Amino acid sequence: MKKFFGTDGIRGKTGDYPVTPDFFVRLGYAAGLVLTKHVESNIKPTVVIGKDTRISGYMLESALESGFSAAGVDVYLTGPIPTPAIAFLTQSLGVDIGIMITASHNPYEDNGIKLFSGHGTKLSDELEHEIEAMIDTQIKCVDPDKLGKARRLDNAREQYVEFCLKTLKKDINLNSYKIVLDCAHGATYQVAPEIFKRLGAELIVINHEPDGLNINFKAGSTHPEFLIEAVKTHKADFGIAFDGDGDRVVMVSDQGELVDGDQILYLIMDYYLKVGELKGGVVGTLMTNLALEEKCIALGIPFERSNVGDRYVSEKLRERSWFLGGENSGHILLLNHHSTGDGIISALQTIAALLDKNKKLSEALRELPMYPQVLINIPLSQKVDVGSSFIQEITATAEEIMEGLGRVLIRASGTQSLLRVMTEGPSKELAKKSAMYLVDKIKSLN
């Protein structure tokens, strides 16, 4: 079992162990030692480090840079840039590891890292174990002539912008669209407006002025109510909201309807099926709406569920040699275009689907009537075993409340001290009644 790495890197409150400058120096040094073991002796290892817009990113960036340099690893620094851009750059630059300093959709007080292999995929469990095993190693700098050098990548954002644009067919333009972009005061605040501007869209950009403290604050994919209001106010064709590090996306239709990852996944899937580009099947998660699974069955498309987390979706896709999957939170994997989830590319492919259908987003959504879902996060003061007989008993009762026609899922968050409850039923009323029963029972334990 890993001590520091969770399902998606390391994350926590800045200043609380392990999100501290001294730990990040040792983390950089430990990762540098592991890299040195895995590259040829005559080649100096390299790493690319990006960050989102949190004020703590400067401190942690410097700490990582120091640790890597002490281990003899060269460092490329990108400045604020989306997480999927780091996955892209690890491949295009030919570096050994990519690191993104981010706490994703969490508030600015939190920070952490996500790590990528040289192939742009999430770092393997084996390498994370190796790094953890070296964390407590005493730092002994390499000889001065072997210290790692650090340099800024001045064109990193432009490289990523061009990469995203190349995922579209050359004849696509958005001249007829008015689009609201919500950048969450996060890592997409520079690149996303540039991409959609080059495509000719009329843009209204909101939440694109980061100050180090406002990332995700009443903004972005976790607070879509502000995007909904902006779409209605500006009478836009649709709105697009990213999270703080840009690897997930939600949308809002011209009618102000929130469009989640399951609906986005359907639109892309249906588009690829129509144009003959769908390979194999689709991977969802335990949280994926039952409507998407039933639609896949109706269309003859294989569908499988993974555990929650884009890492697990990616693993199952690679096992099956498929390329399309995602989560209802807005993490969409398009392995035909990128090695990891990318909010901007997912939005672009969804728009390509709308252009092909020649439909408004609100019209396209009618093709996939969704089952009502209720999602509730329950803060925990003590750990709850989701496999216990108590949880099994209350789950069975919750299913009975929905007349045996729904689904119930209770799982622990991989990144926060939360228990996540999801109910999905034949009606919103029964799903809500079932969820509130579960919440009351679980809260009685804390």
CATH number of the domain where residue 90 is located: 3.40.120.10
- State the DSSP string of 338-406: -SS--HHHHHHHHHHHHHHHT--HHHHHTTSPPPPEEEEEEE-SS---TTSHHHHHHHHHHHHHTTT-S
Q: Is residue 40 domain-resident?
A: yes
Residue with tokens 């990193």: 156
Rounded to whole angstroms, what are the CA distances from 1 to 5, 31, 49, 128, 349? Answer: 9, 18, 26, 11, 38
Contact of 261 with 278, CB cutoff 8 Å: no
Contact of 421 with 375, CB cutoff 8 Å: yes
Q: Which of 154, 189, 214 is the last residue of a domain?
A: 154
At 435, which CATH number? Answer: 3.30.310.50
Residues annotated as catalytic (active site), given as ranges: 104
Residue 428 belongs to what domain range?
Answer: 373-443
Domain total of the chain: 3
Shared-domain flag, residues 127 and 208: no
CA dist., res. 88 & res. 78, Å (int): 12
Judged by DSSP in three states, 78 sits in strand
What is the pLDDT at residue 415?
63
Q: Is residue 302 domain-resident?
A: yes
Cross-strand partners of 421: 376, 410
Nearest C-alpha neighbor of 69 from the set 146, 127, 164: 146
pTM to 2 decimals?
0.91
Shared-domain flag, residues 127 and 87: yes
Shared-domain flag, residues 359 and 410: no
Query: Tens of pLDDT along the chain (446 residues)?
Result: 788 988 789 999 999 999 999 999 999 999 999 999 988 777 899 999 999 999 999 999 999 999 999 999 999 999 999 999 999 999 999 999 999 999 999 999 999 999 999 999 999 889 999 999 999 999 999 999 999 999 999 999 999 999 999 999 888 999 999 999 999 999 999 999 999 999 999 999 999 999 999 999 999 999 999 999 999 999 999 999 999 999 999 999 999 999 999 999 999 999 999 999 999 999 999 989 999 999 999 999 999 999 988 889 999 999 999 999 999 999 999 999 999 999 999 999 999 999 999 999 999 999 999 999 999 999 887 778 888 999 999 999 999 999 888 889 998 876 677 888 999 988 999 999 999 999 999 988 76
What is the pLDDT at residue 308?
85
Shared-domain flag, residues 178 and 320: yes
Q: Which of 138, 154, 170 is the last residue of a domain?
A: 154
Shared-domain flag, residues 59 and 131: yes
What is the pLDDT at residue 255?
98
Shared-domain flag, residues 341 and 290: yes
What is the pLDDT at residue 1?
74
Shared-domain flag, residues 278 and 323: yes
What is the pLDDT at residue 119?
95
Residue ranges of alpha helices (H) inside 260-306 are 261-275, 290-299
Shared-domain flag, residues 280 and 385: no
Q: Is residue 4 domain-resident?
A: no
Shared-domain flag, residues 263 and 223: yes
Q: Which of 130, 154, 178 is the last residue of a domain?
A: 154
Q: Is residue 3 domain-resident?
A: no
CA dist., res. 11 & res. 320, Å (int): 30
